Structure 1
Amino acid sequence: MYFRTIISILFVCLPVICLSAVNEERIVRLEQQMDRLSLTPYIYWLEDSSNQLTIDDIMQEKKEVSFRPPLNQPLNFGYSSATYWVKIKLYSDNCSETTWWYIHLRYPLLNQVDCYIVQDSTIKHIQTGTKRPLSNRPLRHPDFVFPIKMSTNSEATLFLKVQSSSSIQLPMVLWKPSAFYSHEILLYLGTGCLYMFFLFIAVLNLVIFVSVRYRTCLTYAIFVISYVILHMSYKGLAIVWLWPQMSAWITISIPFFIALTALSTMLFTQNFLNTREKLLHFHKAFQVLNILCLFVLFLPFIAPYALSIRMSFIMILMSNILILFTILAALQRGISQSYFFLIAWLMVIMGVITYIMKALGWLPSILIIEKSVEIGYFLCTGMLGVSLFDQFQKERRKQENIQKQAAIERKHHLNVQENTMQTLDQKAKDLHEIAINLSGQIDNLNLESDTVAGASEEMSANIETIASAVEELSVNIKSISTASDKMSQHNTSVASAIQELTAAMNQISGHAQNGSDIAAKVVAMANVAGQTMKSLGSAADQIGSVTEVIKKIAEKTDILAVNAAIEAASAGEAGKGFAVVANEITKFSEQSARAAEDIATRIAGVQNQTQKAITVISEMQEVIESMNQSSESISQAVEQQTMALHDISDNASQANIQSDEMAHMMSEMSLVSDDVSKNAIEASKGVNDVAKSIRTLNLSGQELLNICQKIEMESQNLRIGPEDIKKAPLK
C-alpha cells in the first residue's frame, strides 16, 4: 500500500521536476580549483536563417530571439548558410581573487566569429575568423581563444555570432590559463613530434629517391608532405605559421590539399603496387580518377567552398574505395607488398570515414574521433614505412650485388684506366706543346690577316676591273655568237663543196684506174714490140751475113770475070762474045758489090735504128711501167683523198652542229657573263666585308692567344698521378 502511494507520487512529481530542470538556465560556476571544463552542457544556441539579427536584438530578447537548450554533444551544424548565435553564462563562485579564464573555440576554420562579452553593463566586441586579420585575435593561436577576467562573485555573459562557408562546429572548453598553456604545450609538442616523424619519413624517402631513383619513394614523400600541409591547414597551424596574411587562401587551402592528398595517394598506390604491369584495368581506373582529381584540385578557385569541399570529400572517398579494391585484387594475385598496404590503408580509410561522419554530424565530437584521421595516417605511415623499408632492403641487396659486380669490373678495367690516365697525361703534355705552337701560329695568323686584309682590298679593286672586263667579254661573246652563226653557214657551204669534190675525186679515181689499165696494156704491147724489134735486129744481122756472102760472091764473080776477060782476050775473036759476057759479068759483079755495099749500109742503118727502137721501146716500157705505178699511186691517193673528204664532210657536218651549239652556248655565256658581272660587283662588296671580318679576326686572334696562354697554364697543371687513378670513381 505504501509502495503504491510512493510510486503514484513519483509519477505525479517527476514530470514537474524534469520540466523545472529543463526550464532552469544552466550557468557555468567558476571555482578556484577548476582547471578545465567542457562548455557543451552550458551552450544555448540560436539559428538565424535571415542573417539579420544583431547584438542589440539579442540583448533586447525579441520574439524571434529564442535560444535553444544545450545538447549533450558538441554543436555541429554541418554546412549551412545561416548565422548561429551561442550564449554562455558565467558566474564566479568561491573565487578568492580576480582571475583570468580562457574560452577556447576548438574549430579553426570558421570564417567570421564575433564575440560579445557582456560584463558589468559593458559589451566587449572581438572580431576574428579566417577571413579577418590574424592580429585581431586576442591570442595568436590556431584556434579562437577569448580571455575573460572574472572577479569574486561576478557574472558575465558571452555571445558568439558565427557565420562560415565551412562546416560549422562549435566545440568549446573553458580553461584556466595555466592549465591551458600546459595542455597546449603538451598538445603541440605531440603534434610537433608527429610532424617531425612525417617530415623525417618524407625527407628519408626523398633521399632514397635521389640515391636510387626509386619513384615510389618520391610519390610517398609527396603524399606525406601534402597530408602534413593538409593537417596544418585543418588544424589552423598553417594560418599562424605558413600564410597568416593570405585570408583568401586559408579557406580554399582545405579542399585543395584534400584533393592533392587524394591525388598523391593514388599515384603512390600505382607505383607501390605496379598497377601498370600487374593490374592494368585498375591502372586505367586510377588514370581516370587522377584526371578528375586534377579538376577538383583547381575547383576551389572557381566554385563555392561548400561545393569544392564536398567534391574533395567525394574524391578522397572514391580514391580510398578504389585503393581498397586494388589491394584486394593484388592480394588475389599474390603480390607480396599488398598485405602491408591493406593493413595500412584500412587504418586510413577507417580514420577518414570516421572523421567525415563526424563532420557531417553523424558521430559525436570526442577526442578519439577528432584524432581518428591523425591516428589512421600515423599507423598507415608506419606500416607503409615498414613495407617501403622491406622493398628498399631488396633494392639495396640488388644494389650491393651490382656494386660487387662493379668492383670486379673495376679491378678488371683498372689497368685500362691507368693506361688511359697515362695517355691523358701524355695528351696534356701534347696539349701544352700544341698551345705553344698555336700561340706562334696565332701570331703568324695576325700578320697574315693584316696581309690578307690588304690583299682583299686589292682583290676588291681587281674584281671591279674583272667586272668591267666581263662586261666587255659579254659584248665579244655576242660578236662571237654572230660569227658562229656565219661560220655555221660557211660550214654548210663547205660541206656541200666537199660533197661535190668527193664526187669528182670518185670520177678521177675511175679515170686513174682506166689509165692504169691502159698503161698495163701499152706495157704489154711495148714488150711485144721490143721482142719484134729484137727479132728484126736478129734478121738484120742475118741479112748482114748474107750481104757478106754476096760481097764474097761479087768478089769471086769479079775475079771470075777478070779471069773470063783474060780468057776471052786469050781467045781473041772467039773470045769476044765471051769477053762481052765477062764484061757484063764484071759490071754485074760490080753492081752486086755496090748493091751489097748499099744493102750492108742500109742494113747497118736498119740495125742502128732497130737498136735505137729497142732502146726507145725499153725506155718507153719503163716509162709506161712508171706511169702504171703512178696511176696506181694516184688511184690509191684518190681513194685516200675520197675517204679523207668523207671524213671532212662528216667533220664539217659535226662542225656545223657544234657551231650551232657554240652559238647557243655563246648566247647563254652572254647571259652568264652579265650575271658574273653582277656577282663580281657583289663579290667586291663581299671582299670588303671580308677585309673588315679579317680585321675582326685579328682581334679574335689576340683573344685566342690569351686563351692559348691560359690553356698552356692549365695544361701544366693537368698531370695525373697513380694516386689520382686510385681515387677515380668507376662509372
Structure 2
Amino acid sequence: MKILKLIGILLTGCWIKVVLAVDYETKTLASETDATNLSNYVYFYQEASPLGLNEVVKLSHSQWKKNNTQNINFGYTDSSYWLRTSFYNSEEQTSAYFLEIAYPVLDFLDIYVINSDSQKHYQLGDKYPFNNRVVQHYNFLIPINVKSREQVTVFIRVKSTSALQVPLNLWPKEKFYDEDQFRSIILGVFLGIILVMGLYNLFVYYKIKDNNYLYYVLYVFSIGMFFCSLTGLSFQYLWPNNTVWNDHLIAVFLNFAILFGTFFSRKLLAIRRSHPQLDKVFSFAISAALVCLILCTLLPYQLLIRITIYLAVFVCLLGLVSGIIRLFDGYPLARYYTFAWAAVLVGGIILAANKFVLLPNNWFTEHAAMIGISFEVACLSIAIAERVMQERRMRFKAQNTLLHFHRRNSQELEKRVKERTEDLESLNRKLKEANNTDALTLINNRRYFEKAFKEEYARCRRFKHNLSVLMIDIDYFKKVNDNYGHQAGDACLTLVAQVLLQSAQRTSDFVARYGGEEFCVFAPETHADQGVTFAEKIRNNVEQMEFMFNEQIIPVTVSIGLCCEIPEGETYEEHLRQADEALYQAKTNGRNRVEMAKAKSIHNS
C-alpha cells in the first residue's frame, strides 16, 4: 500500500508539472496593490459533452480560445464552459490573495487551484447552500496563497441558467477588505434610500389613505428586494438554504416591480382620465406582469428572466413616453416623472445590454440600474409630494371661494347671532352672579363659599400650604331684631358684610355669608400669627364701626373662631368644624373676642 501511495504522489506531481509547463499566457504578480482583472489571461473551452478535470488538462492548446475582452460574458446559454488562467508570483515572499467571481447568481462552479505541489477543488454556486462556501460572502471567493517564484493555474467549470458572466478578479487580501467595505457602503446607501423612501411613504399612506402611495411603497420595496436578490444579499441573509427558488425570486420581484410601477404611473399621470387609449396599453402591461408572475412557477429561469427583462424595458419605454405626452399636456407632475423614468430607463437598458453581452461587464454597467433607481425613487417621491401639495392648494382655493360666498351671504346673520350671544352671555353672567351672591348683603353666599373653599383646601393640602378659615358671628344679633326690628337686623348684616370686605384686602381672601348672622372668611397662605392679626383686624373694625338706625347708634361686636393650619384631612369639613368649635368657645368666653382652634384666648374684651 505504501508503494502504491508513493506511486500516486509521483504521478500527481508529474501531472501537475505537465499542467504548469504548458505554454499559456500567464499574469506576473509583483507587489500588487490593487485588483487584477484576469479576463485577458483567461482561455475558455465550450463543452460538447461533460468533461472532468483530467480530460480538460489533456486538451491541446489549439482547442482553447483566448479571451481578448475586459470581461468574460457568454450571455444566456445552455452550454457549460471551462476557463483556465495562470498567474506567477515574482516576489520573494508568499502572498495571500482572494480569487473573486463577482457575479453571485451563477448556478454551478467547479474551481480547481493547482500549484507546484498541490491541487484543491472547490464547489460553489447558488445551487449549493450558502454555508457551504469557504468564504461567507455574497460573491464567490477562493483564498489562494502563492509562494515565492511559484505559478498557480486555476481551472473553472461554470454552468448557469442566468447570464453566464464570470468577472474574474485577483485581490490582495488587505485590498479586498478595503474595497469590500466601500461596496458595502454603496449598497447600504442604496438600500437605505429604498427603505427610507418606502417607510416614509407608507406612513403617509397610513395618514391620508391615498392608493398612489401604496403603489409607490410596493414598487419601491419590490425594487429593493430585486436588487438584494440580484446581488446575492438575500441569499446570504434571508434564505441561505433556498437553492431551488433563489434564481426565480429575482424574476418574481422584478415582475412585482413592473406591476406596481405600472399601477403607480397610471394613477400618478391620470392616464385613465386624460388618455383612454394609452390606458389600454397600461392595462396590457399590468396583465403581462400578472401572467409572468404566474409563469414563475412553470417556466425555467433562463426563459423567464428573458421575458421579464423584455417586459421591463417595454414598461420603462411606456412610462417615459407617457411622461412626455403628459408633459406636453401641461400636466405639472410630468416633469418629475419623466426625469425619474428616464433615469431608470437608461439604467435598465445598460443592465439589459450588459446581460446580452452588448456592453462590457464592469462596476458601472452592473450598478447602472441601481443608480437610476436611486434617482427615480427620489424624483417620484418629490412628484407624490407635489401632487399632495397641488391637491391641497386646489382644496384650499375651493374652500376660500366657498368661505367668501358664505361670508358675504351670512354677515347679517352672524351679526344677529353675535348680538343674541352677547345678550345670552350677559344674562348667564347675571344668573351666575345671582346664584353665587347673597341677596341681602350682596357678598358670596354659602353655596359658592363651599365650592371655592373645597378647591382651595385641596390645593393647600397638595402643596402643604397654610390655610386660615374664620367663622364670624354677630354678638346678640337676636336683641337687635327684637329691639329695633328686622329692618335694623338687615341693615346690620349689610354693614358688617361691607366691613368684612374692606378688611379682607388680598385678592385671594374670600368673604361669604354663611347663614343668618354668621359669616365665613378663608385666607390662603396665612400662618397662625398672620391669621390672628387678620381676625383681630376684623373684630376691631366691626367694633369701631358706627351702626346708626333711626338716629340711634347701636353697638355691634363679633365673635370669631379661627382655624389656621396645613390641611391634612381628606375633606374640608374638619377645618370648618374646628373653626366652628373655636367660635363656640369665643361666645362661651364672653363674646367680642377671637379664639383659635385648640389654643387659648387671643383677646379679652
> Is 1:41 aligned to 2:37, yes or no?
no
State the alpha-carbon separation in 2 of the partners of residues 161 and 149 from structure 1.
21
Give the corresponding residue for 2:291.
Answer: 295
- 1:130 to 1:65, Cα distance in 2 relative to 1, 3 A: farther
Q: Tell me, yes or no, if structure 1 residue 106 matches structure 2 residue 102.
A: yes
**2:392 corresponds to 1:393:** no
Greater strand content: 2
Candidates 210, 213, 218, aligned match of 1:217: 213
Per the TM alignment, residue 24 of structure 1 is displaced from its structure 2 partner at its CA by 6.3
d(CA) in 1 for partners of 2:314 and 2:278?
A: 13
Query: Partners in 2 of 1:289 and 1:193 — Cα distance?
Result: 31
Does structure 1 residue 152 correspond to structure 2 residue 148? Answer: yes
What residue in structure 2 maps to residue 56 of structure 1? Answer: 54
Q: Which has the higher helix share?
A: 1
1:141 aligns with 2:137: yes
AA in 2 matched with 1:142 = Y
Distance 1:222 1:33 in 2: 45
Aligned-residue offset at 1:399: 7.6
SS at match of 2:217: helix
1:453-492 superposed matches below 5 A:
none
Residue 273 (structure 1) aligned with residue 282 (structure 2): no
Question: 2:343–2:373: 8 Å Cα contact kept in structure 1?
Answer: yes
Unaligned stretches of 5+ residues in structure 2: 1-21, 407-416, 422-605
CA contact (8 A) 1:256 1:298 kept: no
1:83 aligned onto 2:80? yes
Is residue 73 from structure 1 mapped to residue 70 from structure 2 by the alignment? Answer: yes
Report 1:139-288 matches (<5 A).
139-288=135-284
Cα deviation 1:585-623 (Å, max 9, x = unaligned): xxxxxxxxxxxxxxxxxxxxxxxxxxxxxxxxxxxxxxx
- For residues 469-511 of structure 1, the C-alpha deviation after alignment (integer angstroms, 9 at most, x for no partner) is xxxxxxxxxxxxxxxxxxxxxxxxxxxxxxxxxxxxxxxxxxx
1:64 to partner: Cα distance: 9.5
Residue 126 of structure 1 contacts residue 136 of structure 1 at CA under 8 Å; is this kept in 2? no
Native 8 Å contact 1:57 1:65 kept in 2: no
Q: Which structure 1 residue ranges, 4+ long, deviate > 3 Å from structure 2?
A: 62-65, 394-406
Listed as ranges, the matches of 1:335-374 within 5 Å are 335-374=331-370
> Take 1:312 and 1:325, find their aligned partners in 2: how far apart are those partners?
20
Shift in Å at residue 174 of structure 1?
0.8
CA distance in structure 2 between the aligned counterparts of 1:36 and 1:322, rounded to whole angstroms: 40
Checking the alignment, whether the CA contact within 8 Å between 2:271 and 2:279 is kept in structure 1 is: yes
Q: 1:201 to 1:47 in 2, by over 3 A?
A: same
Q: Within 2, Cα distance between the matches of 1:28 and 1:313?
A: 37
The answer for the alignment partner of 1:92 in structure 2 is 89
Q: How far off is 1:367 after superposition?
A: 2.6
Deviation, 1:178, is 0.9
Q: Counterparts of 2:63 and 2:117 in 1: how far apart (Å)?
A: 21
Q: 1:300 & 1:112 partners in 2: Cα distance?
A: 21
Give the superposition deviation at 1:401: 8.5
Q: Which residue of 1 aligns with 2:325?
A: 329
Residues 528-547 of structure 1: pairs in structure 2 closer than 5 A? none
* Structure 1 unmatched ranges of 5 or more: 1-22, 416-731
Q: Determine the structure 1 residue equivalent to 2:128.
A: 132
How far does the alpha carbon of each residue in 1:681-722 deviate from its partner, in whole angstroms, 9 at most, with x for none? xxxxxxxxxxxxxxxxxxxxxxxxxxxxxxxxxxxxxxxxxx
Report the CA distance between 1:70 and its aligned residue.
2.4
Structure-2 separation of matches of 1:224 and 1:33: 41
2:312 to 309, 316, 326: 316
Question: How far apart in 2 are the matches of 1:63 and 1:29?
Answer: 23
Distance in 2 between residues matched to 1:305 and 1:81, nearest whole Å: 12
The AA in structure 1 aligned to 2:250 is: I
SS at match of 1:76: coil
State the AA in 1 paired with 2:141.
Answer: V
Shift of 1:366: 2.7
| Distance in 2, Cα, partners of 1:90 & 1:324 | 48
**Following TM superposition, by how much is the alpha carbon of 1:256 offset from its aligned partner in structure 2, in angstroms?**
1.4
Q: Which moved more, 1:269-278 or 1:364-373?
A: 364-373
Q: Is the deviation greater in 224-233 or in 275-284?
A: 275-284
CA contact (8 A) 2:323 2:338 kept: yes
Q: Secondary structure at the match of 1:248?
A: coil
Residue type of the partner of 2:88?
Answer: Y
Q: Hey, what's the Cα distance between the residues in 2 that align with 1:403 and 1:242?
A: 50
Query: Residue type matched to 2:184 in 1?
Result: Y
Distance in 1 separating the partners of 2:120 and 2:392: 64
Classify the secondary structure of the residue corresponding to 2:45. Answer: strand
The one-letter code of the counterpart of 1:318 is F
- 2:24 is the alignment partner of 1:28: no
What's the offset of the Cα at 1:218? 1.2
- The one of the two structures with greater contact order (alpha-carbon pairs below 8 A, sep at least 6) is 1
Question: Offset at 1:190?
Answer: 1.7
1:169-221 deviation per Cα after TM superposition (whole angstroms, max 9, x unaligned): 01111101111011011111121011111110011111111111122111111
Query: Does the Cα contact within 8 Å between 2:45 and 2:64 map onto a contact in 1?
Result: yes
> In the aligned structure 2, how far is the partner of 1:297 from the partner of 1:53?
37
Residue 57 (structure 1) shift: 0.7
1:232 is paired with a residue whose SS is helix
Q: Which whole-Å CA distance do the structure 1 matches of 2:347 and 2:126 have between them?
A: 26
Do the aligned residues in 1 keep the contact of 2:336 with 2:380 (CA within 8 Å)? yes
Partner-residue secondary structure (3-state), 1:295: helix
Judged with a 3 Å threshold, the aligned counterparts in structure 2 of structure 1 residues 238 and 400 are, in CA distance, closer, same or farther, namely farther
Contact 1:85–1:162, Cα closer than 8 Å, also in 2: yes
Question: Measured at CA, do residues 166 and 364 of structure 1 come closer, stay the same or move farther in structure 2, by a change above 3 Å?
Answer: same
Is the 1:262–1:319 Cα contact (8 Å) retained in structure 2?
Answer: yes
C-alpha distance in 2 between matches for 1:402 and 1:237: 50
Aligned pairs (5 A) from 1:542-557? none
| Shift of residue 364, structure 1, vs aligned partner | 1.4
Residue of structure 1 in register with 2:380 after alignment: 384
CA distance in 1: counterparts of 2:196 and 2:367, whole angstroms: 21
Question: Matches of 1:139 and 1:302 in 2, distance apart?
Answer: 33
- Aligned-residue sequence identity (percent) comes to 24
Q: Report the 3-state secondary structure (helix = DSSP H, G, I; strand = E; otherwise coil) of the residue aligned with 2:82.
A: strand
Rounded Cα–Cα distance in structure 2 between residues aligned with 1:138 and 1:278: 58
SS of match in other structure, 1:46: strand
Q: Contact (CA 8 Å) 2:33, 2:175: kept in 1 or not? A: no
Q: Following TM superposition, by how much is the alpha carbon of 1:99 offset from its aligned partner in structure 2, in angstroms?
A: 2.5
TM-score by length of 1: 0.50
SS of the residue corresponding to residue 310 of structure 2 reads: helix
In structure 2, C-alpha distance between the alignment counterparts of 1:64 and 1:260, rounded to whole Å: 48
In the aligned structure 1, how far is the partner of 2:399 from the partner of 2:191?
A: 36
Provide the rounded CA distance (Å) in 1 between the counterparts of 2:313 and 2:55: 43
Going from structure 1 to structure 2, the CA distance change for 1:175 and 1:63 (only over 3 Å counts) comes to closer
Count of aligned pairs between the two proteins: 386
Secondary structure (helix, strand or coil) at the match of 2:75 reads strand
Contact persistence 2:323–2:334 (CA under 8 A): yes
TM-superposed CA distance for 1:36, in Å, is: 1.7
Which residue type is aligned with residue 283 of structure 1? Answer: D
